[in-house]
C-alpha cells in the first residue's frame, strides 16, 4: 500500500459566525480523482481553498507528500515553500479562466511561465514545450502568439489547463472546471481532462455542483452540505445508491435531458 499524496484530518474552517467546513477528513492517492459536490454555499470552495493552501484551516491539518520530505502539514510550510508548491507540484484550474490566465500575455507565454519560474532560460525549448502543450489541449498552434482575450471560453479553459499541467503537477485542484461552458464544449473538455489525468497519473480534486461532471471525471465523491461531508464513497455508489437524505435529494433533483 502506498502512502497518501494528501491526507486531511478534521479540517475546520470558521469565518466569524459562519462554520464553512466542519470536521472534513479524507485521503487522496496518486492518480485518484476526488469529486466534491454540494449546492452553493455548502463549503466546497472554502474546502478547496484550504486544501490548496490559499487559506489556512481554523483547526485540523492538511498534509501533502512534499517531494523529498514526505507528508508535511502545509500550514507548517513557509509561505515561499507553499507558493513554490502551488506553481510546480500543484495545478489550480479556476472556474473563470480570467482568474487563472494572464490575459495580456500570449498563449505561449502563459504556458511557458511555470517553466521559466523553475529556471528554464532557453527560449527555443520553452516555446517547443508550449507548442507541444497547445497541441495536447487541442489548441491550434498558430494561436501561440495570440492573447487569451481573443480566445473563446472553451479555448481559454483549455489554455488554463495547459498552463497548469506544463510543470507536470502531481495534484490539480479544479473549481467548476466546466462551469460557464456550453454543453458541447463541456463534453470535449471533460474527455480531454480525463485523458490527461489518466495519462499523466495526476491526482485531482474537482469541486462542482454538476453531478454529470463528477460521474465522468471522479473516482470518488464527497457530498457536502452546510460545511459537512454527509456522504462519501465511489462515485457511482454515491450517485446510484445514495444513502443520505440530502444526497438522495441532490440526485433526484437533477434534470434529465
CB of 59 to other proteins, least distance (A): 26
Asked whether 192 and 137 are in contact (CB, 8 A), the reply is: yes
Q: Choose which of 54, 132, 140, 145 interacts with other proteins (CB under 8 A).
A: 145
Alpha-carbon span 176 to 93, nearest angstrom: 9
For residue 189, the SS3 value is helix
Inter-residue contact 158 to 137 (CB < 8 Å):
yes
Closest distance between other proteins and the C-beta of residue 50, in Å? 20
Contact string (CB under 8 A) for other proteins, positions 12-51, x = contact: -----------------x--x-------------------
71 touches 78 (CB < 8 A): no
- What residue spans of 137-182 are helical by DSSP H? 153-165
Distance separating alpha carbons of residues 68 and 30, to the nearest angstrom: 16
- Bridge partners of 33, per DSSP, are 204
If the CB atoms of residues 20 and 219 are measured against other proteins, the closer one turns out to be: 219
> What residues form DSSP beta bridges with 15?
18
Applying CB under 8 A, which of residues 79, 142, 255, 256 lies at the interface with other proteins? 79
Residue 126 engages other proteins in binding (rule: CB under 8 A): yes
The number of residues that bind other proteins (CB under 8 A) is: 50
Interface with other proteins by CB under 8 A: which range of 42-50, 59-67, 154-162, 236-244? 236-244
User: Is 234 in a helix, a strand, or coil?
Assistant: strand
| Closest to other proteins by CB, 45 or 106 | 106
CA 66/CA 30 separation, integer angstroms: 13
Specify the residue, 93 or 111, whose C-beta has the smaller distance to other proteins: 111
According to DSSP, residue 101 is labeled S
Residues that bind other proteins in the complex, under the rule CB under 8 A: 29, 32, 79-80, 83, 87, 102, 105-106, 108-109, 112-119, 121-124, 126-127, 144-145, 184, 187-188, 190-191, 194, 198, 215-216, 219-220, 233-234, 236-237, 240-241, 243-245, 248-249, 252
Amino acid at each position: 500500500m502506498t502512502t497518501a499524496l494528501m491526507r486531511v484530518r478534521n479540517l475546520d474552517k470558521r469565518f466569524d459566525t459562519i462554520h464553512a467546513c466542519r470536521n472534513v477528513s479524507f485521503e487522496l492517492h496518486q492518480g485518484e480523482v476526488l469529486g466534491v459536490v454540494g449546492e452553493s454555499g455548502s463549503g466546497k470552495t472554502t474546502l478547496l481553498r484550504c486544501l490548496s493552501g490559499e487559506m489556512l484551516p481554523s483547526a485540523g491539518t492538511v498534509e501533502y507528500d512534499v517531494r523529498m520530505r514526505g507528508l508535511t502539514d502545509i500550514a507548517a510550510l513557509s509561505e515561499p515553500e507553499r507558493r513554490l508548491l502551488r506553481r510546480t507540484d500543484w495545478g489550480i484550474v479556476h472556474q473563470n479562466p480570467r482568474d487563472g490566465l494572464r490575459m495580456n500575455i500570449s498563449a505561449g507565454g502563459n504556458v511557458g511561465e511555470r517553466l521559466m519560474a523553475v529556471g528554464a532560460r532557453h527560449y527555443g525549448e520553452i516555446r517547443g514545450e508550449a507548442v507541444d502543450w497547445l497541441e495536447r489541449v487541442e489548441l491550434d498552434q498558430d494561436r501561440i502568439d495570440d492573447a487569451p482575450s481573443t480566445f473563446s471560453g472553451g479555448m481559454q479553459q483549455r489554455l488554463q489547463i495547459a498552463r497548469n499541467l506544463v510543470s507536470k503537477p502531481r495534484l490539480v485542484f479544479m473549481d467548476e472546471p466546466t462551469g460557464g461552458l456550453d454543453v458541447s464544449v463541456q463534453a470535449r473538455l471533460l474527455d480531454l481532462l480525463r485523458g490527461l489525468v489518466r495519462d499523466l497519473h495526476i491526482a485531482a480534486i474537482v469541486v462542482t455542483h454538476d453531478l454529470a461532471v463528477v460521474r465522468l471525471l471522479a473516482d470518488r465523491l464527497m457530498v457536502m452540505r452546510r460545511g459537512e461531508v454527509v456522504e462519501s464513497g465511489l462515485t457511482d455508489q454515491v450517485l446510484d445508491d445514495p444513502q443520505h437524505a440530502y444526497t438522495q435529494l441532490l440526485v433526484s433533483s437533477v434534470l434529465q435531458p
